[in-house]
Structure 1
Amino acid sequence: MSSPTTNAALGGGAQVKSAVRTIELLEYFAGNTGMHSLAEVQEQTGYPKSSLYMLLRTLTELGWVETDATGTRYGIGVRALLVGSSYIDGDAVVAAARPTLDLLSEDTGETIHLARLDGANVVYLATRQSQHSLRPFTRIGRRLPAYATSHGKALLATHTDEQIRRLLPEQLEPLTEHTHTDREELIEELAEVRARGYAVDREENTLGVRCFGVAIPYRSPARDAVSVSVPVARLSPGREETIRHALFDARDRLTLATRHF
């Protein structure tokens, strides 16, 4: 599970190796919800069972990992929530974006997301729920492949084609039947995204939901983007046009709000 490149860059010493394993173990639990047996974790990580057990016990005592009633299954602990919350609470972009996200939510009545590019994925930093009973739901902290979301594609479009080829594999894992699975086809679409200034997720992430996203250009390539998610059943050509204008207005406001970042 550990990255040879990462370990080499960190020096590969025993103390650093232990730190890398700790982080990778926490990331494993964060990406695999629920409780997991020691054997399951060992199979996925490849760590020696004896050292894995000691690491899990230490993390459990410190609150980073929790166990079930039997003490034999493990999952992410409350300490991870506290650290994650502090990241959101202390992030300058999230704070600066709040008024714009509120306004975009009022203008569209739909679900709004602020997301950040993290490698080949996007991580949700803030959300505003739709005012309608039929609405998509995404929790803060969720990670999704950038190529399957509108804000992810808006962010990828701020990179060069060669940068995208280095970032993504040739074959992409589908989330739905509409997801791009060919990197070169995705790159062709990203050229269109650059030309029109926004990206569209056409049920590529969740069936029945279409999303529109724009990047916030306070740095280049862009790191953050905002999106509007709409159930297809509620989307008409006129409605789509209204959402695009609202997104462009939000991008202008966010560009102004983050101009010193």
Structure 2
Amino acid sequence: MSDSSTRSSSTTTSSSAAAPRARGVDRVNALCEQLHLHRQPMTPKALMEATGAPRSSVYELINLLSEAGWLETESDGRVFFGRAMHYFGLDYADHNDLLKRARPVMRELSARYDETTQLCMLDGDKYTVMLNENGARPFRISSEVGVKVPIPWTASGRVLLGGMSREAMLGLVPDEDFMLPDGERIDIDGFIAEIELTQQRGYALTEGLVDSFACCMAVPIHEGTDRARATLCFTIGRDADESRRETLIGALREASFMLSNTD
């Protein structure tokens, strides 16, 4: 066999071997995503239905991940994240400088103003809450930690897209994400105008986009560039008066200045 044939055979074997591994990684990710979205233990059958994976694959993954401590099986057969995942999460939080610095700042904000404080970032073409500190006021939060939400639905999205060209923004945000849960469509030109206004005044404020009773205000956290790395935000009731809103926006801007690294 010639060298070229050998290389061709080796490449073919390598490619065919890599494909099942890639599918396996995708299935692990899909399984973990479903557990995260469900936020409580699920049966293997429910995981099969949610992920579309074959029965044999789901049971094999559950067994392998349970042996590694990534999953734990309860007495009724349902599975959920195991202690190893907890350790990994703590390692990430300890390693990420912004998260370490932000948590005490957010706790102080929530304690001082009795409002829920969140730190948010982009996750691919979606927005997600990275940290959440609940305030004393009872209020339903529409976005939970780690859940991916369409960018146009949020005040933070209007901050995080600041400085991006129209073409780049439309290339990032899926067209269907401009449709709100109630079926109303967000006007793209209006959305871009709101992004520009956000850049001018240094904060974004949205009302009733996903929750008709909610008002969200967000400010940028910068790290050495004009684009925001993250946002700091309050989620409050829409009944808050103008004076209260100005106070909260001022507090967010002061805190975000402390957390930003513009060197």
RMSD: 3.0
- The AA in structure 2 aligned to 1:24 is A
Q: Could you list the per-position Cα deviations for residues 63-88 of structure 1 after superposition, in whole angstroms to 9, with x for gaps in the alignment?
A: 322334332x4333343233223222
Contact 2:178 2:187 in 1 (8 A): no
Matched, 1:241 2:256: no
- The AA in structure 2 aligned to 1:211 is C
Q: Could you list the per-position Cα deviations for residues 208-237 of structure 1 after superposition, in whole angstroms to 9, with x for gaps in the alignment?
A: 22110011121453221100121223x001
Deviation at 1:140, TM superposition (A): 4.1
Q: Which one of 115, 130, 134 corresponds to residue 120 of structure 2?
A: 115
Deviation at 1:182, TM superposition (A): 4.7
Partner of residue 150, structure 2: 145
Contact 1:171 1:182 in 2 (8 A): no
Q: Could you list the per-position Cα deviations for residues 36-65 of structure 1 after superposition, in whole angstroms to 9, with x for gaps in the alignment?
A: 343432333333322222112211233322
Larger radius of gyration: 2
Partner of residue 61, structure 1: 67
Instruction: For residue 228 of structure 2, give the secondary structure of its aligned residue in structure 1.
Output: coil
Q: Distance in 2 between matches of 1:43 and 1:183?
A: 35
Q: Could you list the per-position Cα deviations for residues 98-129 of structure 1 after superposition, in whole angstroms to 9, with x for gaps in the alignment?
A: 45434534553422111221113333233333
Partner of residue 94, structure 1: 99
Partner of residue 24, structure 1: 30
**TM-score normalised to structure 1 length:** 0.78
Q: Distance in 2 between matches of 1:36 and 1:107?
A: 38
Q: Which one of 156, 159, 175 corresponds to residue 154 of structure 1?
A: 159
Contact 1:125 1:140 in 2 (8 A): yes
**Cα distance 1:217–1:30, how it changes in 2: closer, same or farther (>3 A)?**
same
Q: Distance in 1 between matches of 2:210 and 2:196?
A: 20
Instruction: For residue 199 of structure 2, give the secondary structure of its aligned residue in structure 1.
Output: helix
**Cα distance 1:41–1:220, how it changes in 2: closer, same or farther (>3 A)?**
farther
Deviation at 1:180, TM superposition (A): 5.4
Deviates more, 1:93-102 or 1:114-123: 93-102
Instruction: For residue 115 of structure 1, give the secondary structure of its aligned residue in structure 2.
Output: strand
Q: Distance in 1 between matches of 2:108 and 2:45?
A: 49
**TM-score normalised to structure 2 length:** 0.78
**Structure 1, gaps ≥5 residues long:** 1-10
Deviates more, 1:115-124 or 1:180-189: 180-189
Instruction: For residue 132 of structure 2, give the secondary structure of its aligned residue in structure 1.
Output: strand
Partner of residue 75, structure 1: 80
Contact 2:153 2:178 in 1 (8 A): no
**Cα distance 1:80–1:183, how it changes in 2: closer, same or farther (>3 A)?**
farther
Deviation at 1:165, TM superposition (A): 0.9
Instruction: For residue 13 of structure 1, give the secondary structure of its aligned residue in structure 2.
Output: helix
Contact 1:113 1:125 in 2 (8 A): yes
Q: Which one of 84, 90, 110 corresponds to residue 85 of structure 1?
A: 90
Matched, 1:198 2:196: no
Instruction: For residue 215 of structure 1, give the secondary structure of its aligned residue in structure 2.
Output: strand
Q: Distance in 1 between matches of 2:71 and 2:189?
A: 41
Matched, 1:47 2:53: yes
**Cα distance 1:159–1:45, how it changes in 2: closer, same or farther (>3 A)?**
same
Deviation at 1:163, TM superposition (A): 2.0
Partner of residue 259, structure 1: 262
Instruction: For residue 25 of structure 1, give the secondary structure of its aligned residue in structure 2.
Output: helix
- What percentage of residue pairs aligned between the two structures are identical? 26
Q: Distance in 2 between matches of 1:217 and 1:179?
A: 32
**Cα distance 1:177–1:191, how it changes in 2: closer, same or farther (>3 A)?**
farther
Q: Distance in 2 between matches of 1:26 and 1:156?
A: 28
